[in-house]
């Protein structure tokens, strides 16, 4: 008898009707005879609303209490879904993260799963019940409730799937899978049938809606993850170890897997900073103290002991970051600070880039042919990212999607 773990996101559980719809899908899965464990996020915008409420009563809400507060969102959706399943004639039981045996360390707001004690889930499954677990949360040895970070219901699902040795972890969401590019920008973007964990990890960090740690977890425990729509019956995208991937003709022919874009980017540059130890720390420590999240950092090779240092932040934090950077620059003689708030990030991703050269050059050529200036370049083993003017990102994405052969696949 098989066992699957399904995860449903908040937009799939936004109200009573949506919960009823999801219950219908779960019942259909259970009727194939497989055991089913369901992990849920909080309904709709619940988590954001609770977060806002906390910030209305306290400037800096206590992390322990914030976790206990936010954990209620997933408990609400798990209990409602269990009720909906029972009203459809399937026995079901709802568990908080604590009851599901998800044990974590004490890092409130970003707790790490220490281990999973799935005994009670196993007993209830053996009694024929569908088990519905509140995602996003766990409990410490001291019985303090923790949360695992934003979007971490995915992580709860993959961790439970691994602990229960499930056949697959199915993540249902409001999109039909993972795409080769943002379909709003690139009309020829297509859904991928399969993708490797590593590639998905880069994509997760660049806009696709899976928690990166859940992908790492899937990779570590070799747990297949299917990302699919909670509404349609389109097959979705299977995220897996990728061993069979290179064997398919399509995969070999097409080494760049996707084009990613992000318009929520602002770039700040400190020109002619001293190229000596301690300078980067002097710049980024005050930014960290101001709780500003830095995305990409590039330090150029400079002449005569000086260098240019650029970094990107989210646009909402651009003004504050500029202010902090200007303050820092004031204490360094000769440093000039500038910012660009209308830039965007465009990336190409594919594991095969790590073995084959020339992808970067090809990308830069495509952008040059379009007359698009590159403000900044960063790379990882399987990704190349350029910062460009945001009015040109759509044209860039379309051109790259075509040139790297993504328009006409499958």
Which residues bind to a copy of itself, rule: CB under 8 A?
Answer: 16, 19-20, 23, 50, 53-54, 56-62, 64-66, 68-69, 71-72, 75-76, 78-84, 86-87, 92-94, 96, 98-99, 143-145
Distance CA 136, CA 138 (A): 7
Q: Which is nearer to a copy of itself, 124 or 182 (CB)?
A: 124
Nearest distance from residue 173's CB to a copy of itself, in Å?
Answer: 21
Q: Which is nearer to a copy of itself, 1 or 59 (CB)?
A: 59
Nearest distance from residue 136's CB to a copy of itself, in Å?
Answer: 14
Residues 221/162, Cβ–Cβ less than 8 Å? yes
| Chain Cα centroid distance, residue 75 | 22
Residues 31/89, Cβ–Cβ less than 8 Å? no
Reference 69, options 89, 86, 49, 83; nearest CA is 49
Q: Which is nearer to a copy of itself, 84 or 279 (CB)?
A: 84
Nearest distance from residue 251's CB to a copy of itself, in Å?
Answer: 43
Q: Which is nearer to a copy of itself, 144 or 216 (CB)?
A: 144
Contacts of 383 (CB under 8 A, 6+ apart): 202, 206, 347, 348, 349, 353
Q: Is the dihedral of CA 349, 351, 352, 355 positive or negative?
A: positive
Contacts of 148 (CB under 8 A, 6+ apart): 104, 110, 111, 112, 113, 136, 137, 138, 155, 156, 213
Nearest distance from residue 90's CB to a copy of itself, in Å?
Answer: 11
CA distances from 386 to 77, 92, 110, 136, 376 (A): 40, 49, 30, 33, 6
Q: Which is nearer to a copy of itself, 134 or 400 (CB)?
A: 134
Nearest distance from residue 147's CB to a copy of itself, in Å?
Answer: 12
Q: Which is nearer to a copy of itself, 66 or 267 (CB)?
A: 66
């Amino acid at each position: 008898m098989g066992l699957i773990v399904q995860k449903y996101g908040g937009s799939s559980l936004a109200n009573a009707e949506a919960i009823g719809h999801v219950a219908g899908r779960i019942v259909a899965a259970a009727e194939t005879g497989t055991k089913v464990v369901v992990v849920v996020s909080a309904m709709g915008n619940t988590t954001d609303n609770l977060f806002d409420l906390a910030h209305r009563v306290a400037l800096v809400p206590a992390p322990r209490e914030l976790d206990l507060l936010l954990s209620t969102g997933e408990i609400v959706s798990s209990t409602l879904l269990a009720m909906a399943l029972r009203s459809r004639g399937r026995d079901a039981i709802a568990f908080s993260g604590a009851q599901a045996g998800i044990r974590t360390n004490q890092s409130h707001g970003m707790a790490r799963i220490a281990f999973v004690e799935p005994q009670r889930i196993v007993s209830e499954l053996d009694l024929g019940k569908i088990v519905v677990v509140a995602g996003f949360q766990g409990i410490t040895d001291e019985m303090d409730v923790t949360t695992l970070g934003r979007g971490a219901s995915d992580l709860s699902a993959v961790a439970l799937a691994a602990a229960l040795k499930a056949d697959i972890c199915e993540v249902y969401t409001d999109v039909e899978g993972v795409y080769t590019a943002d379909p709003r920008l690139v009309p020829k973007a297509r859904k991928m049938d399969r993708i490797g964990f590593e590639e998905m990890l880069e994509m997760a960090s660049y806009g696709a809606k899976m928690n990166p740690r859940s992908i790492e977890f899937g990779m570590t425990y070799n747990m297949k993850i299917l990302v699919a729509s909670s509404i349609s019956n389109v097959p979705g995208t299977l995220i897996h170890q990728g061993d069979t991937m290179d064997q398919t003709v399509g995969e070999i022919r097409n080494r760049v897997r996707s084009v990613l874009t992000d318009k929520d980017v602002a770039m700040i540059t400190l020109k002619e900073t001293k190229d000596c130890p301690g300078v980067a720390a002097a710049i980024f420590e005050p930014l960290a103290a101001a709780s500003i999240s830095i995305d990409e950092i590039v330090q150029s090779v400079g002449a005569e002991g000086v260098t240019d240092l650029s970094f990107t932040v989210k646009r909402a934090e651009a003004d504050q970051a500029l202010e902090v950077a200007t303050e820092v620059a004031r204490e360094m003689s000769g440093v000039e600070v500038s910012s660009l708030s209308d830039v965007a990030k465009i990336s190409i991703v594919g594991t095969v880039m790590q073995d084959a050269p020339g992808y970067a050059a090809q990308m830069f050529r495509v952008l040059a042919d379009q007359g698009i200036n590159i403000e900044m370049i960063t790379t990882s083993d399987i990704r190349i990212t350029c910062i460009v003017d945001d009015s040109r990102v759509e044209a860039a994405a379309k051109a790259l999607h075509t040139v790297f052969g993504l328009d006409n696949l499958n």
